[in-house]
Amino acid sequence: MADRPDIAWTVGWGVTEPSGGDRREAERVVAYWEEKLQALGGDFTIAALDLAAIDNKDWSSRFLVAVDPVIERSQLILYGPEFARHLGLPAQPRTDRPLNRQLPPRYVEIFLAACAEATKHMAPVRREGELERADGRVEQYRAAFIPVRIKPNSLTALAFGAFSNRILDGP
């Protein structure tokens, strides 16, 4: 794992139409979590997240999901502007809707399964792969999902993470 200062913010997949992003964002969010764990002695709660920084570059591709015991009821409650752009979402999440009614259908199962796994094992979960889009193009994605509690030993579960994607135009 590279030290945070060694990771260039401009290196990655580059911007493609209609979305693109830095492929290292998922690893950066895991590094952020590891730094916080070390600094806090192992108790990583929502208080450790800098939620006021949602508009800065560190938060741009990050998200926060309220993970419900009935996983289909989980809600996307906070995200950065690049996350919204990558997934074609409005600037502000609709917290009155479950995640499966906010995300594009091609990502719903990936997000729900990863959020459930992260909170079950209380460890980061990484996902990457390719999806075929309705227009025939291939979309590559990378994401990380990190379990977060409201307070230590709380039953309320959240998943904090980052997402990036790119769309390939041809074979």
**Measured distance CA(50)–CA(55) in Å, rounded:** 11
- Assigned token pair, 106: 């091609």
- List, in order, residues 6 or more apart from 162 with CB less than 8 Å away: 25, 26, 28, 29, 61, 62, 63, 83, 143, 144
CA dihedral 70, 71, 77, 79 (to 10 degrees): 170
- List, in order, residues 6 or more apart from 78 with CB less than 8 Å away: 51, 54, 63, 64, 93
In order of their start, the domains of the chain are 18-168 (3.30.450.20)
Three-state SS at 141 = strand
User: 80-108 pLDDT, tens per residue?
Assistant: 999 999 899 999 999 899 999 999 999 99
**Measured distance CA(90)–CA(83) in Å, rounded:** 10
**Local confidence pLDDT in tens for the 171 residues of the chain:** 333 333 332 233 333 333 444 558 888 888 888 887 777 776 677 777 777 766 678 778 999 999 999 999 999 999 999 999 989 999 999 989 999 999 999 999 999 999 999 999 988 999 999 998 888 889 999 999 999 888 777 778 999 999 999 888 765
